[in-house]
A and B are shown apart, each in its own frame.
Chain A
Amino acid sequence: MTGLYLGLSLLLLATIVLGLVRILRGPTAADRMLAAQLFGTTTVAILLLLGQATSNQALWDVALVFALLTAIAAIAFVRRDLEPEQNKKEDGDVSA
């Protein structure tokens, strides 16, 4: 069974690594943030599997903490204030 747990966590890690392509390519900021969010879910699954494989209960705590905080970066992203950039563009237009 341990082999299966480790094998599946290896597979999930590989999906994270391949998913990095989406962050690198974008094209929009929302795409990148979305990919990072997806990695959070996958990481939780890897932690649960590794915790079962090594029968180390502390890893499930780490998974729980990850589950609590997967949303925080995305929330910071959507609450981000984009005003100054727009102002700058308007200023540029005026001076041109």
Chain B
Amino acid sequence: MNDLSVYAAAGILLFFIGLYALFFRRQLLSKILAANVMGSGVFLIFIGLVKQPGQSTDPVPQAMVLTGIIVTLCFTAAAIALAIRLKELNEEHHSATRPEDDFG
């Protein structure tokens, strides 16, 4: 057992917690957060398994995770924009099918 393996283990758990939430949560924002948590889990596994105790961390996975963190933010922004649009369309749909509500 290595002292830094706990991070990789936590990463695995984060990935599966996120996967579970992605499947079974209804709210879209929860699903987006779930995908974010899964991403963090993958990053933790990546760096946690690479790190050798007493040495500096391998720069190649570091660079890849750095890219990943920034891409995750943009993914989140795009996903939120989609979710907002979806909600708008739903509301338009509902008000179109039940016009009496608008005059009530």
Q: Which residues of A contact B (CB under 8 A)?
A: 94-95
Contacts and interface: CB of A to CB of B under 8 A. Distances in A.
Interface residues of B, number: 2
Contacts of A95: 101, 104
Interface of B: 101, 104
3 contacts: A94-B104, A95-B101, A95-B104
Q: Tell me the interface secondary structure of chain A in the complex.
A: helix
A95 B101 CA distance: 8
Contacts of A94: 104
Nearest to A95: B104
Nearest to A94: B104
Nearest to A96: B104
Contacts of B104: 94-95
